[in-house]
Amino acid sequence: MAFAKIDACLVCEGVRPELNNKNILLGFFGIAPYVQVRLPNISTPASLCFVFCGGAAEGKFNIRLRLDDPTGTEVTNPTNSPHIKDGVLMSGKGSTNIFLAFQGILGRFGTFRVGLLVDDVEQYSTTVGIEPASASQQPVFGLIH
C-alpha cells in the first residue's frame, strides 16, 4: 500500500502517549497554515510538534520533518528533529497520525515552511507563522487576546 494521503497538520508543543492507542496533545497551538505560534524569545530553543493526519497506510517508511525559515534555510537536522527510520505503518482502513518533533533554535520570526518527507520525497507541505509574544499576551480562559 502507498503512503497515506495527508490532509492536515496540527501544531503543538509536544505529545504524550496514553493507553488504548490515544495521545494527549500538549500546548496545542492550532492547525497549519492558520496557526500563529507566539514565542517570547527567538534565540532560545523552541519545542514544536507537528502532527500529520491522513488516510490509511501500510508499509515501512523513512520519515522526517523539514522546517525551513523565512529565507528558505532548513533549520531541521537529525539532532533537533530525529528522523523515523524504517517506521512501520499499519493503519489498515483507519487513519494515519505521524508525530514529528522539533526542539531547537528557530533564529528568526516569520512564516516557516513545514514539509513531511517520506523516503526523501515531500508528501505534504504547509506553513506556520512564528511571531514574538508580547508581555500583554497572557491567556484568559484559554484564549490569547
Supply the pLDDT for residue 4: 87
What is the distance between the alpha carbons of residues 95 and 109, in angstroms, rounded to a whole number? 33
Of 111, 119, 51, give the one whose Cα is nearest residue 84. 119
In DSSP terms, which residues pair with 142 in a beta bridge? none
User: Is residue 78 very low, low, confident or very high in pLDDT (cuts 50, 70, 90)?
Assistant: very high
Q: Can you give the pTM of this predicted structure?
A: 0.89
With cut-offs at 50, 70 and 90, classify the pLDDT of residue 117. very high
Report residue 139 as a C-alpha cell.
491567556
Q: What is the grid cell recorded at 59?
A: 508499509
pLDDT tens-digit readout, 11-62 = 999 999 999 888 999 999 999 999 999 999 999 999 999 999 999 888 999 9
Is residue 131 within a helix (H) or strand (E), and if so which, with residue range?
strand 121-132
pLDDT value for 89:
85
Alpha-helical regions (H) of the chain: none
**Range scoring the smallest mean pLDDT among 54-63, 92-101, 106-115:** 92-101
Q: Say yes or no: domain 6-132 is CATH 2.60.210.10.
A: no
User: pLDDT tens-digit profile of 119-140?
Assistant: 999 999 999 999 998 765 555 5
Check residue 113 and give its pLDDT.
Answer: 98
Cross-sheet strand order for the sheet of 30-32 = 30-32, 6-12, 46-54, 96-104
Looking at the predicted structure, is the pLDDT value of residue 101 above 80?
Answer: yes
pLDDT beyond 90 at 93: no
Q: Domains of the chain: which residue ranges?
A: 6-132
